[in-house]
Structure 1
């Protein structure tokens, strides 16, 4: 999830969904406020830990933070040097995730087409937005954290892409690289506030409108495919913190159109291979998860 959340266009919520931990994560986060009031303030640490599934949350958080700390630079480098192949891999990942999430619907009916279309159109529209830089003050870091984490927990909507739209992606990455603990602390508090609020809403919605929510999330992922399409035409540029020119707004083009526009190879065959690898990875994760769930417990 940490590796996915670094990449604008890929959702950590999607990774949680295809690995089978999404609903457990929502339940654990939703239980935190009540567990805090009922147990932690009374000094009942063991009961608090059990009520909020503390070991699961701690392991997940440690994995996310370790991945962000170790992979932020590597993923940035890979996206610069091998952008078509990396985006192709993510494209295959999300295509398989669409199939995986769609299969979770219990009762297929025509009424589900509406949330599917709404989710697709909304996510597609979000991917076409251009970034508008904000002044990176402490309240802005707090608000950016709250908005980004809400997106991160939803399959198909990328929290890091929300940061790109807000113009806060580079300041947050810079804070991670420089270990600016004050900025990261404010950002983390914003994430916590957003996470606690949105998790309860999503959990309630799943319990009441399971199939409708899944159709909406499937639409989110379909719409997000526009962002991870490997071949892009750059429409405008911005200057990053290192003084380098990087794309600000892009439009998807065909592999042949990309080759004509840029004079570079489309790497079509390698891109297809990477997309298939991403698709197979999701299927492998789903198969392993299914085997573990069906294995008898001792």
Structure 2
């Protein structure tokens, strides 16, 4: 395929039309990536509140059987033009930017200032619930029942104890397939699903030196599972949103409400264990702070900051649309 055909096909795909739109989409990707690396915070939530949720699902669905047939016929220009490559390129660049630049900082904050960082996340998710919940139309008893269903399911899901699981290629592939679904599922993060599957540390450890052959094989297997999982799950989610939009949004809103259990800042450790030489918390319970201290005041301030960040993101997205 010539360079001109490649450029024409690339520009024919859906995506940002101006540099400003591309920069805004990149910024939304940064926010999604920042959320996805935290166990308990969902990049899908960020996609929802920034107004790109439907576009994201459609972009993933564009990699369909027609795309595969064109590739097999070596019609590279046709294959490229039929998928939302410009949209995904900007978004994924933002996500990768966040993962590379923020992972170390987030790990430091979670280990050294957990109350402060979880207070910020609590504000982010709490405000997101109201933003997403406004999409529930009509707000009737049936849809509120679906909200309750999602809340109960998510509440018990985030309370599950991480388990020890096998390290076979098949299971790593399965972990990738399951964890990636959180990218388009508000309320539950892929990092938390990996934690629950007992593979959060295992996968993130390989990222420290991805060019070692063994680590590369693990990451490639995980990536293959992620590709299969997100392509299949995006179709299921698109079907649900198309046929039962209000009910689906209601359940997703419930997921986010139930996830607040995970991000409550004050916790008491009930059970822990040493896994591969590192102490891991297996079970906690949420507790109230001991009086109104400076730490509590700072936590409340960060909670408000999280709410304001969501409000700002929504307004910026509304102007861009």
**Same fold by TM-score greater than 0.5:** yes
Is 2:288 aligned against 1:254? yes
Is 2:214 aligned against 1:195? no
Local SS of the residue matching 2:208: helix
Is 2:263 aligned against 1:273? no
CA contact (8 A) 2:67 2:82 kept: no
Q: Which residue of 1 aligns with 2:6?
A: none
Is 2:240 aligned against 1:212? no
Is 2:258 aligned against 1:223? yes
Normalised by the length of structure 1, the TM-score is 0.91
Q: Deviations over 1:90-114 (max 9, x none)?
A: 0000011100101112322211011
Map of 1:159-170 to 2, 5 A cutoff? 159-170=190-201
Q: Which residue of 2 aligns with 1:284?
A: 312
CA contact (8 A) 2:151 2:256 kept: yes
> Which whole-Å CA distance do the structure 2 matches of 1:266 and 1:125 have between them?
32
Q: Which runs of 5 or more structure 2 residues have no equivalent in the other structure?
A: 1-31
Map of 1:30-45 to 2, 5 A cutoff? 30-45=61-76
CA contact (8 A) 1:123 1:220 kept: yes
Q: Deviations over 1:101-130 (max 9, x none)?
A: 011123222110111011000000011110
Is 2:216 aligned against 1:181? yes
Is 2:145 aligned against 1:114? yes
Bigger drift between 27-36 and 141-150 goes to 27-36
Local SS of the residue matching 1:255: coil
Map of 1:10-159 to 2, 5 A cutoff? 10-159=41-190
Shift of 1:82: 1.0
> Which whole-Å CA distance do the structure 2 matches of 1:47 and 1:109 have between them?
45
Bigger drift between 38-47 and 200-209 goes to 38-47
Aligned-pair Cα RMSD in Å: 1.6
Normalised by the length of structure 2, the TM-score is 0.85
Mark the CA change 1:2 to 1:240 in structure 2 (over 3 Å): closer, same or farther.
farther
> Which whole-Å CA distance do the structure 2 matches of 1:116 and 1:135 have between them?
35
Local SS of the residue matching 1:107: coil
CA contact (8 A) 2:136 2:143 kept: no
CA contact (8 A) 1:29 1:199 kept: yes
> Which of the numbers 24, 29, 35 marks the counterpart of 1:4?
35
Aligned residues: 286
Bigger drift between 270-279 and 31-40 goes to 31-40
